[in-house]
A and B are shown apart, each in its own frame.
Chain A
Amino acid sequence: MKVNANLNDKVLMVTLEGEIDMSSSGSVWEAIAQFIEGKKPKAKACVVDLSQVSYMDSSGIATLVRTWQATKKNGGKMRLAALSAPVKDVFELAHVTEIFEIFPTVETALAGI
């Protein structure tokens, strides 16, 4: 699993790659949390690119939910982009598709955030 988090003009761009399970979701959260937690977070909005995720379990969803809650708390936004087939499956099972703002591509997600 690889996680890449880049801050660009108060928008955090997160790219996840590989398998996200109990052994890796902790480091995903650590990589994101430093930008979105606290009273004055560095990032106001967050876009997560899920196109390269080959596997995600409930701990991955829990991490995304946490991210969403943290940004929302600070009046920010979180958008998910380009869900891979395994991610779509687990989102359906978890019934979280309606909760998140989901965009077909990173570009559309970034537009107007």
Chain B
Amino acid sequence: MEGTGPKSEKLMVLLEVGRKLASNMDLDSLLELIIKQTTQVMNADRSSLFLVDKKTRELWSKIAEGTAEIRFPIGKGIAGYVAQTGEIINIPDAYADPRFNPEVDKKTGYRTKTILCVPLKTTDGEIVGVIQVLNKKGKGNIFTKEEDEAILLALAGQAAVAITNAIYHREVLAKQKMERDLQIARTVQESFLPQELPKKAGYQFESFYEAAQEVGGDFFDFIPVSEDHIGIIMGDVSGKGVPAALFMARMMSDFRFVSLTESEPKNILAKVNDMLVKRSQRGMFVTLVFILLDTLKRRITFSSAGHLPPLLVKADGATHRLEVEKGIPLGIAEGREFGQDSVPLDGGDAILLYTDGLLEARNASGKEFGFEKIEAALVKMAASNARQMKAYLLKLVTDFMGDTPQHDDLTFILIKVNKEKGSGEKITASSTKKRGKKSESISITVPSDPKFLSLVRKNVDAFIGELGYTEGERRKIVLAVDEATSNVIKYGYKGNTDKRIDFIIEADRENLVFKIRDYGATADVEKIKPRDLKDVRPGGLGTHFLHEVMDSVNYDTSLGVGTLLTLTKKLPQREEGL
């Protein structure tokens, strides 16, 4: 557009600009567009736009044509004055006006002659910024009151509405993104927390987890390290949101992985620490405590990476904080060593693992829940079971907090050692029978003691009794299962008699299936091939029986611990339809 056209033409342009502005929801490009269009429509040399920062009572501009970001207080200079008063300022000769600040010209080498500055007012009358145009080009080089002021005001009105919308839009988007992030973070986090508590005779486990509004980084896990060792982790990742949740998820699988090869908690922490540092997630670290529970020997070995000490409450009410040296959080520095300690457990003992969410739970007056209250609660409930302890502790902390919003995740684990060592300790033989429409099954658990072979045989014989096998076939099937079980004791458990063997026996319409699960040394499939029949040496004969009697023999050693042996035998052919 060259010079000043007829007024109607300018109004058309104005309408067009309005439409463009209204359709632009991105604040940065909107401001750029406003400045560009204003300079053009006003036939000026330059335009600047300043937005009001309500918090700091400043005017600021990211894009003042030809300059970098500027900030100055409302009230200062011409733009500041306009923002404060909402008046229009039209200066025909800048250097003759005392309100003009020539500093900027000095810095930039620009020569300001004429200035027209108007407020950006929304329809509610709120001033969201100011726009100023400099150095009118063409006729008279002066911004006229009747035409230029009116047009700039109209333009400013449209710009104000568009800017308000864009800011609102930006805030909504940011809020939506934050909510979505939180939702994702929560989903990731919760999907990685254990869904089930460990089941171990002689022990009770309870856990509690409640995320704060803004998800914190609390996590816990139970890792089945071996048949009689459980790894228990309680920790807190430093960050929040999606990155922290992903970091946590990955770290939890690191722990499971490392626990397969390392058995000392301090070594497990050292290895995972190095893995985290190498992965170098800036600013992410984690405090945690790792307890290895030996369920057989009734002993815990623990190590800590800068985490709060677990509490041990003895059956007689004495409390101990399980502290170890040298714990710095994981993920900060490579090659660190971690302290470790070990204590025996007695029947009736309880252990509490927790994060600062419990310790620092606040009441209305800002007071923290604290060690003393936790310890007192545990001592008071020393004779109760884990579930009752959990309920009491929860009630105590929620009563303490009252209506004060929970500012951090609230997470804890309780482990209670049963009094009855004998029954809790030993694996006792048990069996459960299920009968479906199309199939029938029985689960049997026995200790890895040859004394129980006879019991296994009786169960097997009773189960297959009704399936239509001949007496000879029945004897051979019983023999095969007996041999498989003997092999588990001899090779899987190397003669240890206090381990566990699980059986599932199923019969559907076609097959009889035995699943025999042990948790000992992994069966070497190469070694347990059936022997050469001409070789009459003892040993290996049992495996030969398995293959001779069963239709299929399958060893699965991919389970991490132990072996799952599946034996399948076809059911006898029934004379159906005759």
Contacts and interface: CB of A to CB of B under 8 A. Distances in A.
A74 interface: no
A55 B477 CA distance: 12
A23 B538 contact: no
A59 B544 CA distance: 13
Interface string B464-479: 0000000110011011
A3 to B, nearest CB: 16
Contacts of A62: 538-539, 541
Contact of B542 (A57, A65, A95, A96): A57
B555 interface: no
**Looking at chain A's contact residues, is the secondary structure mostly helix, strand, loop, or mixed?**
helix
A95 B533 contact: yes
Interface in A50-78: 55, 57-59, 61-63, 65-66
Contacts of B489: 22
Interface residues of A, number: 22
Contacts of A96: 536
Given A65-B538, A86-B475, A99-B536, A93 B450 contact: no
Contacts, number: 70
A89 to B, nearest CB: 5
A94 B539 CA distance: 11
Interface string B528-546: 0000010011110110110
A37 interface: no
Interface string B420-432: 0000000000000
Interface string A91-113: 00111100100000000000000
Contacts of B545: 57-58, 90, 93-94
A19 interface: yes
Contact of A93 (B476, B482, B539): B476
A21 B460 CA distance: 15
Given A55-B457, A89-B475, A61 B482 contact: no
A55 B449 CA distance: 18
B536 A59 contact: no
A4 to B, nearest CB: 20
A87 B542 CA distance: 15
A23 B495 CA distance: 11
Interface residues of B, number: 28
A89 B479 contact: yes
Interface in A24-65: 55, 57-59, 61-63, 65
Given A57-B482, A86-B475, A89-B472, A21 B544 contact: no
A78 to B, nearest CB: 13
A62 B544 CA distance: 13
B486 interface: yes
Contacts of B471: 85
A90 B539 contact: no
Contact of A22 (B453, B537, B544): B453
B301 to A, nearest CB: 34
Contacts of B453: 21-23
Contacts of A23: 449-451, 453-454
Nearest to B456: A21
B212 interface: no
A71 to B, nearest CB: 15
B518 interface: no
B408 interface: no
A90 B479 contact: yes
Given A90-B479, A93-B476, A21 B539 contact: no
Nearest to A88: B472
Contacts of B450: 21-23
Contacts of B270: none
Contacts of B377: none
B541 A58 contact: yes
Nearest to B548: A93
Contact of B538 (A66, A90, A93): A66
Nearest to A26: B450
B355 to A, nearest CB: 50
Nearest to A66: B538
A55 B475 CA distance: 9
Nearest to B454: A19
Interface in A4-30: 19, 21-23
A19 B486 CA distance: 14
A33 to B, nearest CB: 14
Contact of A94 (B457, B472, B544): B544
Given A21-B482, A58-B483, A94 B541 contact: yes
Nearest to A95: B533
Contacts of B472: 85, 89
B188 interface: no
Nearest to A96: B536
28 contacts: A21-B453, A21-B482, A22-B490, A23-B454, A55-B478, A58-B483, A58-B486, A58-B541, A58-B544, A62-B538, A62-B539, A62-B541, A63-B538, A65-B537, A65-B538, A66-B538, A85-B472, A85-B475, A86-B475, A89-B472, A89-B475, A89-B476, A93-B479, A93-B544, A93-B548, A93-B549, A96-B536, A99-B536
- What are the 10 A-B residue pairs with the smallest beta carbon separation, nearest first? A62-B538, A23-B450, A58-B541, A22-B450, A58-B542, A22-B486, A21-B453, A89-B475, A57-B482, A23-B451
Interface of A: 19, 21-23, 55, 57-59, 61-63, 65-66, 85-86, 89-90, 93-96, 99
Given A23-B450, A62-B538, 15 more contacts: A19-B457, A23-B451, A55-B475, A57-B486, A57-B542, A58-B486, A58-B538, A61-B541, A62-B541, A63-B538, A65-B536, A65-B538, A85-B475, A90-B479, A93-B548
